[in-house]
Amino acid sequence: MTYAFGYSATERERLLAQSLRFTPITERFLRDAGVRAGHRVLDVGAGLGDVAIIAARLVGPGGEVVAVERSAESIAFAEQRVAAHGYANVRFVCCELERFQIAGSFDAIVGRMILEFIPDPAALVAALSTVLRSGGIAAFQEPWLEAGAGFVVRLPLWSRCYALAGESLRCRGVNPDLGATLHRLLEAAGLERALTRFDVILNDSLELARWPWEVVRAMLRDAGDTHLDLTDLGDLSTLPVRLEDEVRTAGCVVPSVPLASVWARKP
Ligand SMILES: C[S@@+](CC[C@H](N)C(=O)[O-])C[C@H]1O[C@@H](n2cnc3c(N)ncnc32)[C@H](O)[C@@H]1O
């Protein structure tokens, strides 16, 4: 199986910048969901370790984080970052999530922007929840792109790139609107009282002006022909600057990837 975004240095930069934006949202979410000092937490689809680092901070030295990721290269990078933070309570496991098996039980299973890439996320959540203790928490953050479109007015180029970002992800079998139905998926796995919260960062920064095009570009680079028609975008080499100009001239804010945060408990 391949991962739609791939593992290039450019993708690593994109992921790190995105993670930085979402750190306060994820930390508040995990805290509110009930991740506490002393907990044993399973982080799935750990990437460069950002969620594992947040979880390590919340569980403290008396807790433990087991972080599962399929890319050995990403794990090597994540391990360095965890060491730089001085956390000794994070252990990475290099494995396909669909094949992951572990002894013992967890107080929480967490994941950010991972289930959207899994062909059968319901089956994965059901399998993972078998290692959740009774009363344990499943807490996932997944995008809900369609919900963010309403935040943009009178920005034709930015809106076109936003629509293309969704289209390019769907072409690769990624579900960028999983956040809308995630509660059902958790409940179908036998978890109870699923709650959804929705967060979107709004500002006029260069990063937010450019991210939809960066998603499309990543899909083109790693997927080759995605059958997207980009002719109306004009000269692609000047597109990032034109996006930035459009946002600046309009004097309005634009949204980040809109994130649905969903959590539920094992009965
Ligand atoms: C968008 S990144 C998110 C990383 C991290 N959770 C974060 O929010 O910063 C998704 C990660 O999931 C990993 N991944 C995707 N499918 C996987 C699978 N089936 N098993 C294990 N890891 C997987 C990818 O390698 C990638 O590192």
- % of the chain beyond a pLDDT of 90: 84
Amino acid found at 232? D
Q: Per-residue pLDDT averaged across 89-115, rounded?
A: 96
User: Which stretch, 12-21, 34-43, 97-106, 219-228, has highest mean pLDDT?
Assistant: 34-43
Q: Per-residue pLDDT averaged across 109-121, rounded?
A: 97
| Model confidence pLDDT, tens digit, residues 184-226 | 999 999 999 889 999 999 999 999 999 999 999 988 876 666 6
* Cα–Cα distance measured from residue 72 to residue 229, given in angstroms and rounded to the nearest whole number: 35
pLDDT value at residue 152 = 80
pLDDT value at residue 226 = 64
Question: Distance, CA 26 to ligand 1 centroid (Å)?
Answer: 16
Question: Distance, CA 247 to ligand 1 centroid (Å)?
Answer: 31
Q: Given the CA of residue 71, which atom of ligand 1 is nearest to it? A: 25
Question: Ligand 1 pocket check: which of 10, 29, 51, 114 to mutate, most ligand atoms within 8 Å of Cβ?
Answer: 114
pLDDT value at residue 213 = 95
- Which range among 50-64, 75-89, 116-130, 214-228 shows the weakest confidence by mean pLDDT? 214-228
Q: Per-residue pLDDT averaged across 141-145, rounded?
A: 97
Return the CATH number of the domain spanning residue range 9-265: 3.40.50.150
pLDDT value at residue 223 = 61
Question: Distance, CA 45 to ligand 1 centroid (Å)?
Answer: 4
Question: Distance, CA 12 to ligand 1 centroid (Å)?
Answer: 12
Instruction: Check pLDDT > 80 for residue 38.
Output: yes
Q: Per-residue pLDDT averaged across 23-42, rounded?
A: 98
**What is the distance between the terminal CA atoms of the chain, rounded to a whole angstrom?**
33
Are the C-beta atoms of residues 91 and 65 closer than 8 Å to each other? yes
Are the C-beta atoms of residues 139 and 108 closer than 8 Å to each other? yes
**Exposure of 261 by Cβ count < 10 A (0-12 exposed, 13-18 middle, 19+ buried)?**
buried
